[in-house]
Each structure stands twice: as structure tokens, then as C-alpha cells.
Amino acid sequence: MKKRFIVTAFILSLLTLSACGDSSDDSSVNTNSTSDGERVQASDSRDEAADSVSQESLAEDIQADGETGSNILVAYFSMPEDGTDADAGASRVFTEDGEIQGNVEYFARIIAEQTGADLFRIETVQQYPGDHDGIINQAAEERDSGARPELATHIENLDDYDTIFIGYPIWWYDMPMAMNTFFEEYDFSGKTIVPFSSHGGSGFSGTTEDIAAYEPDANLLDGFTVSREDVPDSADNLISWVEGLDI
């Protein structure tokens, strides 16, 4: 009887030790699970920190290459025409890579590249025809009626700029009427204005005097204007003119 009791006690002892071992494994699993959770949380924190740094770096890159990175602005009104003949009208030129741009846009991009300036395209709410005859006919109607086409784009940070290049084509011996809207919208007092244009034979056609009347308290420099037939070959002259400006 005593021997049977001892054997029974021994078996119970083994079962108890086995149960303790299982409990220890569960504890180990729970501890490891908690540790993994902490590692996941730490990893998430590192990812968030990395994302934050990445976003900050991106913001710095944008600032360095965006609208807040320069005190020079190139604002331009340009109306590329449909078709394939680069000399068909006063508003179109082919760039070297085959891309169609307006003459004035072509100038604006060269000026921005040479000066590190920001670009701003002056656009209207109403659309213009894509063909040469349609554009000049609409331009004539706007001129005769004294129209002020509504602008679709606006300079939000004008105070950031000290020098503004302003470009436009000459339509019917005048600026496009949208340019009148533009000059009536902004006060360029204390700033330097540098005009540039393309034309069909009339030069600036008195438009620089109009700008001076609109902006009497701005410093208006001598501008650059080229006949539309000469635009594709005018890059060197344009660059020389920009380099000679005191800005």
C-alpha cells in the first residue's frame, strides 16, 4: 500500500512539472509576442520619421525649384496656333524637340532658363480659336469693343518678386486686350518691369508707353521684340539681351 502511494505521488509530481513547463512556454510566447509588438511599433515610428524627413526634403526641393525660389518672374501671354507651318502666324514657333509653343512662350522659357526666374502663364477664361485667322479676327473684335477678357490665372505671391519680365504678342498694332486686364489687376509700384514681344512688323507698336501709363511707379527697362519670321533664329540675341540687363 505504501509503495502504491509512493508511485502515485511520483506520477502526480511528474504531471505537475509538465504543467509548469507548459506554463513557462506560454509565458515565453506571450513575452515574445509583446516584444514583436514593440518592434513593430518601433518600426512604424521609424517609418513615420522617415516619411516626415522625406516630405520635408521634398518640400525643400519644391521651394528651391518652385515659385518661392526666385525674386524674378516671367509672366507671359502666348497663343500657339494649330497647323504645321512655323511662319504661318504671329503666335507659333517650333522648338528643337518638335514641341509646338507660342513665340512668346518660347522667349519666356529661354529668359527663365537664363535668369532662374519663375514662369507664370497669363490665361483667359474664354478660349481663343486655334487657327491664325480665327485668333486675329477675335483679337480685332476685342480691340474694337475695348474688351477686358477675364483672366483664369492670377499671381498669388507678387510681393516675392522684384523684377517681372512681361511678354505678349502684338495683335493689330497693340497688346492683346487680356494684357490690359492684367495691368489693371496688378500694381507693380517699386518693381522692375522688362517687356518682350513678337510682332508682324510693327515692333512694340507703342505698347511700352501703355505699360508706363498703367504702371507709372515701376522701373520700366528697354524691352526685346522680334518679328515672328525671325523668332526661331533669335535665341542668341535674346540671351545677349538678357545678359546685358542690369538686374
pLDDT tens per residue, range 139-150: 999 999 999 999
Residues 50 and 120 in one domain: no
Indicate whether 47 and 156 sit together in one domain: no
Q: Give residues with Cβ within 8 angstroms of 211, minimum separation 6.
A: 166, 183, 193, 195, 220
What range defines the domain where residue 14 resides? 1-65
The yes-or-no verdict on residue 113 having pLDDT over 70 is: yes
How confident is the model at residue 188, as a pLDDT? Answer: 98
pTM given for the model: 0.69
Mean pLDDT of 27-38: 32
- Residue 138: band (very low, low, confident or very high) from pLDDT cuts 50, 70, 90: very high
Same domain, 162 and 86: yes
* pLDDT at position 96: 63
Measured distance CA(103)–CA(242) in Å, rounded: 17
Whether the per-residue pLDDT at 1 is higher than 90: the answer is: no
The amino acid at residue 98 is G
Q: What is the CATH number of the domain that holds 222?
A: 3.40.50.360
What is the sign of the dihedral through the CA atoms of 20, 23, 29 and 34?
A: negative
**Percentage above 70 pLDDT, the chain:** 67
What pLDDT is recorded for position 246? Answer: 81
* Cβ 135 vs Cβ 88: under 8 Å: no
- For residue 137, give the C-alpha cell: 479676327
Final residue belonging to a domain, choices 65, 80, 97: 65
Are residues 79 and 180 both part of a single domain?
yes
Task: Give the count of domains, the chain.
Answer: 2
